[in-house]
Structure 1
Amino acid sequence: MSTTYSRSILLAGWLVSLLPLVFSYQVPISDTDYSRQICSGMWADSSTYIDVTFDKDSHGQLAAVIYEWSDVNYLGKTTSYVDNLPKTYICTTDALASKFCDESQLGRFIIDLPSNKSIDRTSFWSARIGFRSGDDNPSSGDESVSTGEPRNRNIPSAPDENTAPSRRADPDPLNPSPSGTLWYKETIHYNVRKTGYYCVAVVPLTVLSSDTGSGSTDVPFHPKYKGAVLFKNKFDGQLPATDYPKVNFYLAMLLAYVLFASAWGWLCYQHVQELLPIQYYLSGLVGFLVVEMIANLTYYRYLNAHGKNTASTVFLFVVAIMDAGRNALSFFMLLVVSLGLSVVRESIGTKMFKCQLLTGAHFVFGVLYAVGIVELELESTSALVLLIFVIPLAFTLSGFLLWIMFALNTTMMHLKQRKQRYKLGMFTKLHRILLGAVLIIAIFFVVSTTTFSARFAEDYAANTWKVRWWLLDGWLALLYFVAFVSIAYLWRPSANNRRLAMSDELAQDEEDAEDYDLEALELRTNTRVMDDDDDDETLVGNRRGGPASIAEDSVVFEIGDEDDHGSDDEDSRARRKHGRQSSGDGSRREREGLMEGDGDD
């Protein structure tokens, strides 16, 4: 027993020792990078920070600055107020000659502050960083030794900070910049106490040695470096701050789907003998949605714990396939429901193949879109590449929506002509749900288009990092959940829905009965000459010899005995009315319980 306990303690200790290795978002940097700046949003608390580290074989000198985006306007000096020239950001000999900076800023980023603002009231930390190699010492070279210290957690010689708690207790200044050249020894540490969008810029400096005995070439003095920038947020994990809200969001969505699936499963269990084919399909989709939410949550938790690797890429494709399958199956089921399958029609004929073909295309384009959204960087991706991922999916989506609306309107018109008020009410509610969803999609499309049209702006990422996940994933997932639950509620299992689906509603007043008689006779005549591929053939209740035709002959079209040919129209109408009322009372009570799920079981 004690041996097992000891092993458990050792295993727990080993796992705890691994935690610091994986719980931070890290970005590599090198002298070959095209972009010299690394930026990321940060969710801050009292223990968040940014660490900058360099490899031991790095050499040369760098200009480095760390700041929060709200101070970006103070970075650099305007080169010309006449010509459209970029700002001058580094204090070089040319910038010094142009009086953009003074000698104390040589080799550093230029910070142009107004006269009434001190650097301690900003988020800037800047330094000229040097790497020692061979027998280099602080007194050799072209710059004096720095009297300041880096923001390093492990340097006890810093005059104003001895331990991590004391640094947190002395927030003014929170991150003082060293003067002179900072010779790199250990990790550069930058405290973050405010949620925001933080950037780390590193620019290599080509320095000519002041030693006249050195070689004529300056190539050895061109810096070579490799390192990493680590953003430690208030959450533990390797996800960037802009993506971490997805973890909590998909957890909440999973709980919501599990609750809905439990309620749906209970209704199916209560009315298992009355389930329609469409309700079996819905049950399968409900189970698929729960599995899909589990896959999404697991993917982002894995990515948060292990970062991007081969396994996460494979996992991404699995999740993308499931997301695309969810969307394609949902639109397919919505389309066949709008065509009246299982409620108005037994079959939709050759249109089923067209529905399946559109579903397959939507599935393929959905996979491409889902992978592209995760893998592509919106700030650097061209509009043509984005359109390749978006336009095909937009076409299939538009095809689904237009066909669904047309089919739904046709079905509603047919039910209205047939005086099927209860079924018409169901499809009317479905129509309203879809119109509401389309309206919301249109609104968010305008908002998203406006937002993403500015993706090349310098401040786009800084302004949208908190809500980008919502614009790309969140609102669509929530809208789908609300629409799906609302539609499933209309087609929920109940005690009598099978009888309702397979029969026609009887007229409840005299005028409707007279109109219904003529329409029913005409429809029965047309049914005899319809082709098998015609959609009207599949109307439930219009088959010859079907249960609905029996109901029509025995109730709706009851005209009395054959011997009563001489009775006047009023007597005949009275007998028909009496027959309809006697059977209509029972039919009305039955309809009140249909599709409501409140029958006693």
Structure 2
Amino acid sequence: MIYRLRTTLVLFCLALAQVVLANKAKFDEELVPQVCAGMYSKHDWGGAYRPHIGISVTDYAGEHYKPGDEVSTTPFSSPISYVIFEIKDLKNIGYELDNGQTKYICDDYAIKTLKACNETQKGKFIINGEYPTNTTILTSQLTHLGAAHINYTIVKTGYYCVSTFIASDKKYQGVINFQNAFGFLSASEIPKLPAYGILCICYLVALALYGFQFFKKRNKNQILPLQRYLLAMLGLLTFDTLVVWSYYDLVNRTSNPSSKFVTAYMIFLSILNSTKITFSFFLLLCISLGYGVVVLKLKKSVMLKCKILAGVHFLACCCYLISTYLTGSATATSSAEPKHSNFGSLLFLLPMIPITITLTVYYLAVLISIKQTTAKLHAQRQIIKLKLYENLFRIIFGSVVVTMFGLAFSSFVYMSMSSGQSIEQYWKAAYFLYEFWPSIIFFIVFMGVGWLWRPTETSYMLAISQQLSNQGGDEEEDLEGNGYHQHGTEFELDDLSLLSHSDTENEPRRDVDLDDSFELEREPTASTAAAPVPPSYEELDSKKKKKSEDEEGDDGNTLFELGEESDGEEEGNNKHDDRLN
């Protein structure tokens, strides 16, 4: 005899939160006696296959069966009982006892004492005699190695479960095939195909718009190195999203998700995803530290710390993503007994620990760096740059709040799935609740950052303009060596012809009758005639390059340079050109 609480049978349905990468799931007599998965009818999600559920026994009492072998004609000494049902029909399975427990298997006690079943049902799961005939319950026994002759066609969309039991101590293993009409992906994963397809199109449109602006400004000295990195990052994000979509399409078309090609493609996808995430946070941290706008380049020690953090985060991402893809198929559709599931959960959570730590460090470093940069800009009264970084802080802080809210909501939904009704309600949205929504937040945040640093007619002035506060001191003296700062407390431009780089800068000047102080032709005064002419944009570049060639060592200013040769040279370097090349 076997007694099980009804809630125990519900527990194996709660694997909905994990990633499902295939339509097949393994079962055995000890760890995974029950398996559940959502399924679509052919009417709701069409395809070339017949939607059905199949069961195949691969091992029994030391005997092994391989695909392609003939089905064994030797019956099992102890048959394996199974039941297939939709989750909403769970209430019609088993016989409830007076002590609150439920008996699920028909044996002599259930036949003679409980009168819950008859001799023809002996060894099978007990079905409520009052249940309607149009339910989805099918119970029988497996008696041979190989595929069982089961005709269980999915005629309506729902969340279906398969439970097995053996009365003896025989060991057995098998595979359950949740075959949908559209292919070999699970029903909870198939919405990712159109979802990632739409996301890829959105990235492609953003890349086209950003690239068009970049193309327009490329020959006018109006492009910052930071904008080049953002364009390259946008291209990487587009390619990465396309690869993710193609991976799910590959799995949906491949009957064997464990093939070498699929595994190699999965590893490539994991490395690409890790590169995307790592470089995104690395670039965001450099922006937060003021690279390209506030400072020409970062200190050597600061950049080295950023690179170390990026390297650790990359390794953590690779470990987490590869383990997620490899174990996803096994943990997605199955549920173990409580005494075994705790250990499995700890193993599943183990790769999450390092990536959680690195992400936390990244977020804290970005937010703290932005606050320090804004404080510096506020002290220097650089109003334009200050507003830029304040908007950046709002975007990053808002993403943190939304992410925390999303995690809390997903956890609440997962914990609330204690009944068949809630499971049936949420399984279709599992892909969005537990995996896809962070991709949307990532897209929105990157679009916000890209919009702030988009190529415009005046965006490059952020790198070559300076503002000084009213307070004197070392800070003001350090800026006097730049040769193109302004001696005022408000934002001013050095020379309109230098800064605007309009499309008509090389054309003859036309007469303008508008009352515009920038367009009026006025006689030069004594002060303006004596004032030195600001150097051209190209002259500053050439002077800076010539200066760097005379110095010992390589002192480049790309993002991937370590930074200044030493922290002690910062004061001297502040007297050089503070504009990006």
**In which range does the TM-score fall when normalised by the shorter chain?**
0.5 to 0.7
Deviation at 1:472, TM superposition (A): 3.2
SS at match of 1:35: coil
Deviation at 1:384, TM superposition (A): 2.7
SS at match of 2:163: strand
Report the counterpart of residue 334 of structure 1 in structure 2: 284
Amino acid of the structure 2 residue aligned with 1:48: P
Per the alignment, do residues 119 and 107 of structure 1 end up closer, same or farther by CA in structure 2, a change over 3 Å counting?
A: farther
Residues 1:25 and 2:23 aligned together:
yes
Report the counterpart of residue 72 of structure 1 in structure 2: 90
Residues 1:258 and 2:204 aligned together:
yes
Query: Deviations along 1:452-491, whole A, 9 cap, x unmatched?
Result: 5679999997665323322332011110001101110110
Report the counterpart of residue 107 of structure 1 in structure 2: 123
Q: Distance in 1 between matches of 2:458 and 2:207?
A: 21
Report the counterpart of residue 35 of structure 1 in structure 2: 32
Report the counterpart of residue 51 of structure 2 in structure 1: 48
Per the alignment, do residues 456 and 369 of structure 1 end up closer, same or farther by CA in structure 2, a change over 3 Å counting?
A: farther
Per the alignment, do residues 456 and 41 of structure 1 end up closer, same or farther by CA in structure 2, a change over 3 Å counting?
A: same
Deviation at 1:432, TM superposition (A): 1.2
Is the contact between residue 466 and residue 486 of structure 2 (CA under 8 Å) also seen in structure 1? Answer: no
* Within-5 A mapping of 1:136-535: 187-204=149-166, 228-235=175-182, 237-272=183-218, 273-306=221-254, 307-349=257-299, 350-376=301-327, 377=331, 379=335, 380=341, 382-451=344-413, 464-505=426-467, 518-519=470-471, 523-525=475-477, 527=478
Amino acid of the structure 2 residue aligned with 1:269: F
SS at match of 1:109: coil
Is the contact between residue 62 and residue 129 of structure 1 (CA under 8 Å) also seen in structure 2? Answer: yes
Per the alignment, do residues 203 and 518 of structure 1 end up closer, same or farther by CA in structure 2, a change over 3 Å counting?
A: closer
SS at match of 2:297: coil
Question: What is the total number of aligned residue pairs between the two structures?
Answer: 441
Per the alignment, do residues 431 and 92 of structure 1 end up closer, same or farther by CA in structure 2, a change over 3 Å counting?
A: same
SS at match of 1:201: strand
Task: Indicate the structure (1 or 2) with the bigger Cα radius of gyration.
Answer: 1
Deviation at 1:42, TM superposition (A): 0.2
Deviation at 1:259, TM superposition (A): 1.0
Per the alignment, do residues 124 and 342 of structure 1 end up closer, same or farther by CA in structure 2, a change over 3 Å counting?
A: same
Report the counterpart of residue 539 of structure 2 in structure 1: none
SS at match of 1:518: coil
Unaligned stretches of 5+ in structure 1? 1-23, 133-183, 207-221, 506-515, 528-541, 558-580, 587-601
- Give me the TM-score of the superposition, normalised by structure 1: 0.66
Is the contact between residue 68 and residue 198 of structure 1 (CA under 8 Å) also seen in structure 2? Answer: yes
Q: Distance in 2 between matches of 1:69 and 1:517?
A: 69
Query: Deviations along 1:398-449, whole A, 9 cap, x unmatched?
Result: 1111111111111112222222222122112111111210110110121233
Deviation at 1:308, TM superposition (A): 2.6
Amino acid of the structure 1 residue aligned with 2:133: D
- Give me the TM-score of the superposition, normalised by structure 2: 0.68
Q: Distance in 2 between matches of 1:279 and 1:185?
A: 59
Root-mean-square deviation (CA), in Å?
A: 3.6
SS at match of 2:105: coil
Q: Of the candidates 75, 84, 94, which is equivalent to residue 109 of structure 2? A: 94
Q: Distance in 1 between matches of 2:24 and 2:406?
A: 33
Is the contact between residue 193 and residue 249 of structure 2 (CA under 8 Å) also seen in structure 1? Answer: yes
Amino acid of the structure 1 residue aligned with 2:241: M
Q: Distance in 2 between matches of 1:517 and 1:446?
A: 45
Deviation at 1:50, TM superposition (A): 2.5
Per the alignment, do residues 454 and 366 of structure 1 end up closer, same or farther by CA in structure 2, a change over 3 Å counting?
A: farther
SS at match of 1:38: strand
Q: Distance in 2 between matches of 1:185 and 1:435?
A: 54
SS at match of 1:354: helix
Report the counterpart of residue 483 of structure 2 in structure 1: 546
Report the counterpart of residue 120 of structure 1 in structure 2: 133
Unaligned stretches of 5+ in structure 2? 1-21, 44-49, 58-69, 336-340, 495-515, 522-581
Q: Distance in 2 between matches of 1:517 and 1:467?
A: 54
Identical aligned residues as a percent: 25
Deviation at 1:326, TM superposition (A): 1.0
Per the alignment, do residues 431 and 123 of structure 1 end up closer, same or farther by CA in structure 2, a change over 3 Å counting?
A: same
Amino acid of the structure 1 residue aligned with 2:326: E
